[in-house]
Amino acid sequence: MSKIAEVKAKVEAGKSKLVPGLVQEALDEGSTPSEILQAMVDSMGVVGDKFSSGEIFVPEMLIAAKAMSKGVEVLKPLMAGDGSASLGTCIIGTVAGDLHDIGKNLVSMMIESAGFDMVDLGVDVPADTFVQAVKDNANVKLVACSGLLTTTMPALKEAVQTIKAAYPEMKVIVGGAPVTPEYAVEVGADGYAPDAGSAAVKAKELATA
């Protein structure tokens, strides 16, 4: 079993204590940081699929994400130097009236692992705060708004429309349990993601489009 395959397996199993050492061993064997990162993103993809199909639940998914972030820590200093430029800054937050952060934190980790600099505004974020964050941070390419309650769907709509009014070119991605692709279109978002893995893929697509 190659070291990369071991990294993959251990991320999937959520072995955050073992992942950094294995990442280092894979590097020593000559694997490139981006190959190792891709392997970890792939294993989070597997974890995401298992989550979507109900085979595992949020705790297992968070444990795997934590294992991955430990591996990413080892790679970060190297990635900065290998010319894989950041895709830009992504602002993320849960909309006003909504205090859910587990899903948002997971999405944030996944989008970060895809190559973005993250600015996490936390939960219960008013629409204007998203706009202010775009103003205050350099190179913002994407705003990710999360809403997990049916009652906060109007706040999600307000957030998207407020951002778009201030920055018509800004890409906005939305997600959360009650959000549908149709609703995303209706509120004027550029993208919708059903889960953290697809959020990362969508974020990359939108930022490089």
pLDDT tens-digit map of 163-205: 999 999 999 999 998 999 999 999 999 999 988 778 888 998 8
Q: Are strands 171-175 and 89-94 parallel, antiparallel or unpaired?
A: unpaired
DSSP state of 151: G
Residue 141's identity, in one-letter code, is K
- In this prediction, residue 83 carries a pLDDT of 47
- In this prediction, residue 21 carries a pLDDT of 96
Helix axes of 3-12 and 58-81: crossing angle, nearest 10 degrees: 140
Domains of the chain: 3-84 (1.10.1240.10), 86-208 (3.40.50.280)
- In this prediction, residue 113 carries a pLDDT of 75
Sign of CA dihedral 153, 192, 14, 112: negative
- In this prediction, residue 102 carries a pLDDT of 78
Q: What is the mean pLDDT of the chain?
A: 90
User: Does residue 207 carry a pLDDT above 60?
Assistant: yes
Count how many residues are written for the chain: 209
pTM of the prediction? 0.72
- In this prediction, residue 3 carries a pLDDT of 92
d(CA 9, CA 47): 11
**Residue range 10-14: mean pLDDT, rounded:** 94
**Residue range 132-160: mean pLDDT, rounded:** 96
pLDDT tens-digit map of 69-122: 899 889 877 766 554 567 899 999 999 999 988 788 888 888 887 778 899 999
DSSP state of 96: T
pLDDT tens-digit map of 25-83: 999 999 988 889 888 878 887 887 888 788 988 888 889 988 988 998 898 777 665 54
